[in-house]
Amino acid sequence: MKTDSLFYRLFQTLPQLLFDLIGHSTDRAAHYHFESVELKQTSFRMDGVFIPPDEQPDWPVFFVEVQFQLDLDLYSRLFAEVFLYLRDHRPTHPWQAVILYPSRAVDPGDHIQYNVLLQSTHVRRVYLDEWAQSRQTLTQQLIGVLLVEPSQAVSEARAVLGTLQDTAAIDKAQTVAIVNLVETILVYKLPMLPREEIQKMLDLTDIDLKQTRFYQDVFAEGREEGEQKGRQEGRQEGEVTLILRLLQRRCGELSPAVREKVTHLDLVQLEALGEALLEFGGIADLEQWLTAHAEK
């Protein structure tokens, strides 16, 4: 299972997850910028870096490493990446490395060369099976879907969806992203089953991404604004309004140039963008999609 990419999506969807894992307040999570970083002139790519705002010099940069297999060279590689990053980027903030293991069995243990770091406040080792054992929070339940055996994954996923329905505080756009993420995790864990079968097992035929209350509410707004302009024209305008609203909630404020590009997409392109935007992590993903798909 591609745990690195799944955790990348997890942290993009739920940045508060990192702060839950290390026992910090989640209040700061929304202020951090999360990204995957490729270091120049090396073959290293860091699993993820949480970068604090410039105006908070005391907040640490968090380097996140996801390690689901035993690797005796892990610490050599990790600390090489950290110090290369510090050399190349010269951040003014302190730093902390957070290593996520599925269990203690995968931790290579102390290392004579790196114990001074491993035993310092610069490094946190988190064992996800212990952290998520109680399954009391949404983030613990979501990690549980990743950790359990395939035979238990569906019941764990249903628990996540049940929590989503009962939790009014979660943003509607984020709800869509979490549902999509749960479905994707199961696709990885149950590769022999088609996605349609997984959706049936999760009762997602009625909670399909395009049938969520969030999507329906925004869709209705777009339809209402466009329905007086004729059937075809109304559909076009309704789709544009819908997609712009979804993009704004997913990617933040859109520039006039981006809005104009979206406005000039045809219906087929708008429908394709409506599917693709659920995977976007930010405005850069949208701009990349428009460059690849929009007419010049």
- Alpha carbon distance 120, 245 (integer Å): 46
Q: For a pLDDT cut of 90, what percent of the chain falls above it? A: 41
Residue 207: pLDDT above 50? no
pLDDT bin (cut points 50, 70, 90) of residue 55 is very high
Same domain, 169 and 140: yes
Q: Write the CB contacts of 47 (distance below 8 Å, at least 6 apart in sequence).
A: 4, 7, 8, 36, 64, 65, 66
Q: Which domain holds residue 179?
A: 136-208
> Does residue 88 or residue 165 have the better pLDDT?
88
Same domain, 1 and 73: yes
CA distances (Å), origin 214, targets 130, 221, 240, 258: 34, 11, 16, 23
Provide mean pLDDT across the span 266-291: 81
Which residue type, as a one-letter code, is found at position 243?
Answer: I
Provide mean pLDDT across the span 73-88: 92
Same domain, 4 and 121: yes
Q: In what order do the strands lie in the sheet containing 33-38?
A: 33-38, 45-51, 61-66, 95-101, 123-127
Same domain, 197 and 221: no
Query: pLDDT at position 230, please?
Result: 42
Q: Which of 208, 234, 257 is the last residue of a domain?
A: 208
pLDDT bin (cut points 50, 70, 90) of residue 109 is very high
Number of domains in the chain: 3
Mean pLDDT, the chain, whole residue set = 82
Provide mean pLDDT across the span 212-223: 47
Query: pLDDT at position 195, please?
Result: 73
Question: Which residues share a beta bridge with 95?
Answer: 61
The predicted-structure confidence for 117-148, as pLDDT tens digits, reads as follows 999 999 999 999 999 999 999 999 999 999 99
The predicted-structure confidence for 143-196, as pLDDT tens digits, reads as follows 999 999 988 999 999 999 888 877 766 666 677 778 888 888 888 888 788 777
Same domain, 9 and 44: yes
Q: Which of 151, 179, 208 is the last residue of a domain?
A: 208
> Does residue 238 or residue 54 have the better pLDDT?
54
- Alpha carbon distance 242, 221 (integer Å): 7
Same domain, 242 and 277: yes
Residue 231: pLDDT above 50? no
Same domain, 122 and 69: yes
Query: pLDDT at position 197, please?
Result: 84
Provide mean pLDDT across the span 63-70: 93
Same domain, 90 and 13: yes
The predicted-structure confidence for 238-248, as pLDDT tens digits, reads as follows 678 778 877 87
Same domain, 225 and 176: no
Residue 225: pLDDT above 60? no
Q: Which of 186, 208, 230 is the last residue of a domain?
A: 208
Same domain, 101 and 221: no
Same domain, 262 and 160: no
Same domain, 39 and 111: yes
- Which range, of 82-91, 100-109, 120-129, 240-249, averages the lowest pLDDT? 240-249
